[in-house]
Amino acid sequence: MKIGLAQINTTVGDLNGNAGKIMDAYELAVGQGAALVVTPELSITGYPPQDLVFKSRFVQRNLDVLDDLAGKVGEIPLVVGFVARNDTGAGPPLFNAAAVLRKGHAPEIVHKSLLPTYDVFDEARYFQPSETVEPIVVDGVRFGVTICEDIWTEDHLPAKLYVRNPPAKLAEQGIDVLLNLSASPFHSGKPSERHAMLAVVARNVRVPIVYCNSIGGNDRLVFDGNSLVLDGQGEVVAQFPGFEESVRVVDLQAGERQAFVEANRSEEIFNALKTGLRDYLHKCGFKSALVGLSGGIDSALTAAVAAAALGPENVMGVTMPSQYSSGGSVSDSEALARNLGIRCETVAIKDAFDTFKGLLSPIFGDRPEDLAEENMQARIRGVILMAISNKLGHLLLTTGNKSELAVGYCTIYGDMCGGLAVISDLPKMTVYDVSHWVNRESEIIPWNTIDKAPSAELRPDQKDEDSLPPYPLLDEILELYVEKALTASDIIARGFDAEMVRWIARQVDINEWKRHQAAPGLRVTSKAFGSGRRMPIAQRFVD
């Protein structure tokens, strides 16, 4: 049997636009000989629709679009994701659903069974889980239709979250093919995790698996595609590309196999950032971006991602030297701009800084300069960048990395100003890794930018490691504390310096208030700040 997979990029809430993409993909796959076409999870509404489902007309309009698609589909079935009403009177008012549409037949509906409520997911807020699973028969072929989490049974998760196993229940009833409509967000290493999981499920149910995943960025989340078709022995029949739309027909009976291709980690992260940035801007109605260039590696990588995502003609850089800026602050920024082909302007802040200090001198008196003056420079730069953003219509991108954001080494209303935090989920050492990948063929990010010691340049001869532990050590401890959720005591027991660990843990905890006010950041690790990590600001727990 030939199955068409429509790995498409949907926009949350663009019901008619999404329907158009679905029909275009359907017609393309049918033209290639598909006997059935599969789309991703909630392909009509986009994923995740979140509280849009509570708007008075949203669910009905999504049902109207479903009816419209049903009227356009021919004899070849289309499997499409949508939001269904729960009329049972029990539980939340909706179902996360899939419909099998085909001419001359009433839609056959499947409801999602396993609803994730961990990390970035909150589906139990909206949906009622299905209590039963049954195959759907199309022209004598018995399909098991599952939706995303339904296939992530307890054998493949870090903890036993579910007592039910939809693929196993479907296999007990006899199926020929297991379909999965997915909207599985990316984090580094996720495509390989999915492949390993699907191979186990295929060997357990002993039938081919057709796994169709979304691609594109929706707010903080990035969906990577990487759809897969596996045979009943768990071998890969087809692997779809990452981070790009793709419509392809796969013959389940051709007997073809291929090795699973694992992407280069830095390349994968760069493509995720590029996809997330491109879609965030375009889906929010922006066409261009603005980046404050410091001559440092964080702003350089952010600008490189922006140029790749939007085209260099749609990116503007601004360098804002002060009396503490090194010569490389401007020259490295200008070299980067030339290499990327982006516009670069210089706005010196020394006079503005002196003016602010003069204005505040009656209040500050003879107190020595300290953090207040350092933050003042960052906030002057923030005012300049936001003014340019307002005047020219560019979306301002913040440039802070995860290591800095974790311990609060950033200035609220200063370098944190902006509409999207592109690299806020990249630890500092990952920033270096990805920057080296950017320069794999030729110098894009100036090597001087990569090689010099990181510095905020807010006071004479300042270096980041004057205030922070060495980044390799900081990142290792942060991974254990933030991503692995180990206690400070657990980390110390692994041989790390106790004073350093407790300082880092305290900085993470007391800077929660800053992160609550930060621009949304693109998620590329397994535990990002934001919706996947919800910590209170006012709290006194110390482990």
Domain spans, the chain = 2-263, 269-465+511-516, 469-510
Query: What was the pLDDT predicted at 157?
Result: 58
Task: Round to whole Å and give the CA distance between 511 and 537.
Answer: 8
Strands (E) located in 61-206: 78-85, 94-101, 108-111, 136-138, 141-147, 177-182
- Shared fold status for 2-263 and 269-465+511-516: no
Give me the amino acid identity at 12: V
**Which among 21, 108, 112, 212 is annotated as catalytic?**
112
- What does the DSSP assignment read for 498-535? HHHHHHHHHHHHHTHHHHHTSPPB---SSS-SBTTB--
**318, 344 Cβ separation under 8 angstroms:** yes
The CATH number of domain 269-465+511-516, selected from 1.20.58.100, 3.40.190.10, 3.40.50.620, 3.30.43.10:
3.40.50.620
Those residues with Cβ within 8 angstroms of residue 153's Cβ, 6 or more apart along the chain or in another chain = 114, 162, 165, 166, 167, 168, 201
Beta-carbon neighbour count of residue 53 at 10 Å?
20
HSE, side-chain direction, 13 A CA sphere, residue 330: 13
Query: What was the pLDDT predicted at 323?
Result: 87
148 catalytic per annotation: yes
Record the tokens describing residue 493, joined without a space.
């027991």
Task: Round to whole Å and give the CA distance between 105 and 377.
Answer: 67
Calculated CA dihedral for residues 76, 82, 86, 92, nearest 10 degrees: 150
Beta-carbon neighbour count of residue 482 at 10 Å?
21
Beta-carbon neighbour count of residue 440 at 10 Å?
10
CA angle (67, 58, 37) in 5-degree steps: 40
Helices (H), 408-465: 428-438, 447-451
Name the nearest CA neighbour of 507 among 375, 403, 413.
403
Residue corresponding to tokens 């073809």: 256
The CATH number of domain 2-263, selected from 3.60.110.10, 3.90.1150.10, 3.50.4.10, 3.40.640.10:
3.60.110.10
Upstream peptide bond of 48 is cis (omega within 30 degrees of 0): yes
41 catalytic per annotation: yes
**Which among 21, 108, 123, 148 is annotated as catalytic?**
148
pTM, two decimal places: 0.94
**Which among 21, 41, 149, 514 is annotated as catalytic?**
41
417 catalytic per annotation: no
Helix and strand numbers (H, E) in the chain are 16, 19
pLDDT in tens, the chain (543 residues): 899 999 999 999 999 999 999 999 999 999 999 999 999 999 999 999 999 999 989 999 999 999 999 999 999 999 999 999 999 888 999 999 999 999 999 999 999 999 999 889 999 999 999 999 999 999 999 999 999 999 998 565 556 677 789 999 999 999 999 999 999 999 999 999 999 999 999 999 999 999 999 999 999 999 999 999 999 999 999 999 999 999 999 999 888 899 999 999 999 999 999 999 999 999 999 999 999 999 999 999 999 999 999 999 999 999 999 888 887 889 999 999 999 999 999 999 999 999 999 999 999 999 999 999 999 999 999 999 999 999 999 999 999 999 999 999 999 999 999 999 999 999 999 999 999 999 999 999 999 999 988 876 777 777 777 789 999 999 999 999 999 999 999 999 999 999 999 999 999 999 999 999 999 999 999 889 988 888 888 887 877
Query: What was the pLDDT predicted at 297?
Result: 96
Strand partners, 292: 318
